[in-house]
């Protein structure tokens, strides 16, 4: 008796082969010359007339043969797909995480859905914003975010100063150079806030997604390892269609 995973492996090849054969059959029936035949003989008007050999062309493609071959090819596809789909209805397994069933008796089709969703969630979680590691952060209940300790910095203001390079004389005015000096005028107290996550929290979420991904994959393999009962539906379908 075959296993579901074996049927799944076979289905793709059967589907590809059936599609190719159906395409060939369709093209064959679109060539009227292959479907046509002829036979003709020549008889001169009198005994002295020219004798010509008979001519004939055989029918190369028979539509009924094409129908029979097409039915045989597609019957295999219909049977394999039916076997898989009927088995999928019964294929179930538990999703077990850390030795405990997180989800019980899950259909294999839903396990496939979970696998795709978890792949997308893994990408989402990996890109979550992380708190700047160069700062020391602590929870702030008032904003439900993270904050740093207050940092005090000096605010300065540039004030012009005069520097006398040469004193005034009777003949020349004083030579004065203007420069600016930074003078403290106040203090800034800064607290930074962030809605990002600690790296530890992001790493924990990534690990959880990875662990569940593995559990779902194991469950799918278990569900697909069950025995299947061959279904024979193609004969009924094509017996009605082409019979």
Reported as a single tens digit per residue, the pLDDT across 32-79 is 887 788 898 888 888 888 888 988 888 787 888 888 889 998 999 999
54 with 168, same domain? no
Reported as a single tens digit per residue, the pLDDT across 104-116 is 999 999 999 999 9
Arithmetic mean of pLDDT, 148-175: 86
- pLDDT score of 1: 64
How does residue 216 score in pLDDT terms, banded at 50, 70 and 90?
A: very high
- pLDDT score of 56: 87
- Kindly tell me if the per-residue pLDDT of 232 is higher than 80: yes
How does residue 210 score in pLDDT terms, banded at 50, 70 and 90?
A: very high
- pLDDT score of 36: 85
How does residue 92 score in pLDDT terms, banded at 50, 70 and 90?
A: very high
**Residue 204: inside a domain:** no
Q: What is the average pLDDT score of the chain?
A: 90
111 with 17, same domain? yes
| Selection from 231, 233, 232, 227 nearest residue 91 by Cα | 227
Classified as helix, coil or strand, 9 is helix
- Kindly tell me if the per-residue pLDDT of 2 is higher than 80: no
116 with 159, same domain? no
59 with 163, same domain? no
pTM: 0.66
Helix (H) or strand (E) holding 131: none
Whether the Cβ atoms of residue 121 and residue 139 lie closer than 8 Å to each other: no
Distance CA 113, CA 103 (A): 14
Q: Which domain holds residue 169?
A: 150-190
Is beta strand 100-107 parallel, antiparallel or unpaired with respect to 55-57?
unpaired
Distance CA 85, CA 90 (A): 9
**Residue 196: inside a domain:** no
Arithmetic mean of pLDDT, 164-184: 83
114 with 156, same domain? no
Distance CA 125, CA 208 (A): 10
67 with 155, same domain? no
84 with 175, same domain? no
C-beta atoms surrounding 46 within 10 Å: 5
* Structure token digits, residue 189: 């107290």
Distance CA 234, CA 228 (A): 17
Domain count, the chain: 2
């Amino acid at each position: 008796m075959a296993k579901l995973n074996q049927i799944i492996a076979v289905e793709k090849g059967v589907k590809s082969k059936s599609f190719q054969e159906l395409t060939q059959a369709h093209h064959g029936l679109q060539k009227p010359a292959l479907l046509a035949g002829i036979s003709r003989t020549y008889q001169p008007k009198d005994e002295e007339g020219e004798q010509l050999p008979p001519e004939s062309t055989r029918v190369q493609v028979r539509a009924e043969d094409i129908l029979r071959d097409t039915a045989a090819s597609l019957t295999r596809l219909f049977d394999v797909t039916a076997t898989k789909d009927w088995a999928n209805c019964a294929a179930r397994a538990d999703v077990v995480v850390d030795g405990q069933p997180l989800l019980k008796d899950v259909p294999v089709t839903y396990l496939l859905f979970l696998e795709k969703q978890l792949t997308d969630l893994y990408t989402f979680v990996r890109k979550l914003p992380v708190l700047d590691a160069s700062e020391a952060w602590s929870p702030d209940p008032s904003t439900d975010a993270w904050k740093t300790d207050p940092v005090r910095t000096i605010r300065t203001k540039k004030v012009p100063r005069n520097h006398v390079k040469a004193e005034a004389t009777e003949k020349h005015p004083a030579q004065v150079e203007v420069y600016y000096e930074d003078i403290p005028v106040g203090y800034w107290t800064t607290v930074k806030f962030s809605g990002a996550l600690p790296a530890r929290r992001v790493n924990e979420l990534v690990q959880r997604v990875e662990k569940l991904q593995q559990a779902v994959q194991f469950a799918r393999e278990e569900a697909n390892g069950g025995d299947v009962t061959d279904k024979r539906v193609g004969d009924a379908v094509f017996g009605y269609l082409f019979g």
